[in-house]
Amino acid sequence: MATNDAPLMLSVSGARGIVGKTMTPEVAAAYGGAFGSFLKATTGKARPRVVVGLDGRISGPPLAAAAIGGLTATGCDVIDIGVAMTPTVGVMIGHHKADGGLTVTASHNPIQWNGIKCLDGDGLAPPPAIAKEIVDRFKERRIDWCEPTATGKVERDGTAARVHVDRVLANVDVAAIRAKRFAVVLDSVNGSGCVGGRMLLEELGCRVEHIYGEPTGIFGHTPEPLVENLVDLANATRKAAGAACGFAQDPDADRLAIVDETGRFIGEECTLVLAALRMLQRTGGGALAANLSTSRMVDDVASRFAGSRVIRTAVGEANVVAGLRPANGILGGEGNGGVIFPPVCWVRDSLSAMALVLELLAHEGTPLSQLVAALPRYAMVKRKMELAAVGGMAAVAPALAKVKAAFANERLSDVDGVRVDFADGWVHLRASNTEPIVRVIAEAATEARADELCDACRRAAGV
Ligand code: MG
């Protein structure tokens, strides 16, 4: 199936579709109406307050306007924060004591995509059961439109980036970072991170070279922060005089990828590990949470701090938070560069990640390349297959069952898809929540062995 024929994807992560085909203002209005109705039913309030933002992609404004229409037409009052990072929406829900948040974003997906993601009154991605309730309301169009006189009001707030940056600054060692006067290259992909990303780094005393730093919503490169898309960042960092590192945000700025001072991409798996290392140093140890597809580097780093543990969860921010929060965890995240820093918000946050990595650099006083060289390293292989090519969603459950049967003697987890742990590596097979693809991820000491694990898993699954 070609991307342009992709269906509207409805999942724990919200709605994603192709602009003008499956993602239209009509869909956004109904989704806003469904979410507003859900909030009225669950909070018991006639006029819930909802923070609304958009990730800056060029297709966003009509969809955000439609979603705001759907919310106000069900009686919700809206605080419109305009172009904002997804974590900023999380921060502003708390700031305004709102009942929920909605952001128009397709995260790292290419420009033809857009989507809608909802957050609850604690600024959390709703857990699967609640997310399903919102999606079901949307699918069944169970929308509780309000009386004409009860239409909600829209208030604008242009301070969101400032509030978010201040929250990060209040929770990192600003003096130590400022004293270093780091030179940093930032690639914001012309997305929602442009304003807040630059503001944070300048407040931290960094000399900032900003590439793709205009919030035009027209991405400067393929937006997913992977090595092949960050060539310009790598070159700019290598050439910049005395740069400590380069940072890349995805369009909604919840993920962060890093290149070292030589311009070498350190791998998106390292973002969480470096931030976790700093938090473990700070606290002496504690609980971390990471999803099942995240590198075991984080387990190795945690094992250096007595009493630390890593809680493994299903993929998706809501699942990581569901593991992190009750454990009073110090940090959580996902191997894709998503770091959740509880004092700031319960959403993966590129600003928190940047600040913690700079704090680590400031305290260690060694170049990033050396810090990374000292981490245990594994080879990770990430493959994806079109869902249609493996026989569609209906083929996934039987494929998972075949993998479980084939590896019945190994350590298995079926919390999310199936993960098989071997003595010298692991492999994880699952259907994506947000795209019509199936992912197979394996990690081992060598790339050859990780490839072998991927192949063995695919063979067992028959895909
Ligand atoms: Mg994202």
Q: Is the pLDDT of residue 153 over 60?
A: yes
Per-residue pLDDT band for 3 (boundaries 50, 70, 90) equals low
pTM score of the predicted model: 0.92
> Under CATH, domain 3-158 is a member of which superfamily?
Alpha-D-Glucose-1,6-Bisphosphate, subunit A, domain 3 (3.40.120.10)
CA–centroid distance, residue 86 to ligand 1 (Å): 8
List the single range of 27-36, 60-69, 317-326 with lowest mean pLDDT: 317-326
Distance of alpha carbon 92 from alpha carbon 103, whole angstroms: 12
Per-residue pLDDT band for 4 (boundaries 50, 70, 90) equals low
Torsion region of 285: left, alpha or beta (phi above 0 gives left; psi -120 to 50 gives alpha): left
CA–centroid distance, residue 96 to ligand 1 (Å): 23
Q: Is the pLDDT of residue 166 over 70?
A: yes
Taking alpha carbons only, the member of 180, 184, 220, 202 closest to residue 58 is 220
The whole-number average pLDDT for the span 77-95 is 97
Indicate the helix (H) or strand (E) that contains 463: none
Q: Is 208 helix (H, G, I), strand (E, B) or coil?
A: strand
CA 38 to centroid of chain Cα atoms: 24
**Tokens linked to 17:** 């579709």
Q: Is the pLDDT of residue 1 over 90?
A: no
Per DSSP, the residues of 310-327 read EEEE-SSHHHHHHHHTTT
Taking alpha carbons only, the member of 114, 140, 125 closest to residue 34 is 140
The number of helices, as runs of H, and strands, as runs of E, in the chain is 15, 20
CA–centroid distance, residue 27 to ligand 1 (Å): 21
107 is known as an active-site residue: yes
CA–centroid distance, residue 123 to ligand 1 (Å): 16
Over residues 283-296, the pLDDT tens digits come to: 999 999 999 999 99
Q: Is 459 helix (H, G, I), strand (E, B) or coil?
A: helix
Pair 358, 366: CB distance under 8 Å: no
Give the whole-number percent of the chain exceeding pLDDT 90.
89
Q: Which of 59, 107, 293, 295 is catalytic?
A: 107
Over residues 339-378, the pLDDT tens digits come to: 999 999 999 999 999 999 999 999 999 999 999 999 998 9
3-158 and 163-373 share one fold: yes
Q: Is the pLDDT of residue 434 over 90?
A: no
Taking alpha carbons only, the member of 334, 337, 332 closest to residue 350 is 337
379-461 CATH choice from 3.30.310.50, 3.40.50.720, 3.30.200.20, 3.40.50.1000: 3.30.310.50
First-to-last CA distance in the chain? 16
Q: Is the pLDDT of residue 2 over 60?
A: no
pLDDT at 423: 86
Domain ranges of the chain: 3-158, 163-373, 379-461
The whole-number average pLDDT for the span 60-88 is 98
List the single range of 216-220, 258-262, 306-310, 402-406 with lowest mean pLDDT: 216-220
CATH fold of 163-373: Alpha-D-Glucose-1,6-Bisphosphate; Chain A, domain 3 (3.40.120)
Average pLDDT of every residue of the chain: 95
The whole-number average pLDDT for the span 393-420 is 93
CA–centroid distance, residue 55 to ligand 1 (Å): 9
pLDDT at 11: 85
Specify the higher pLDDT residue, 18 or 423: 18
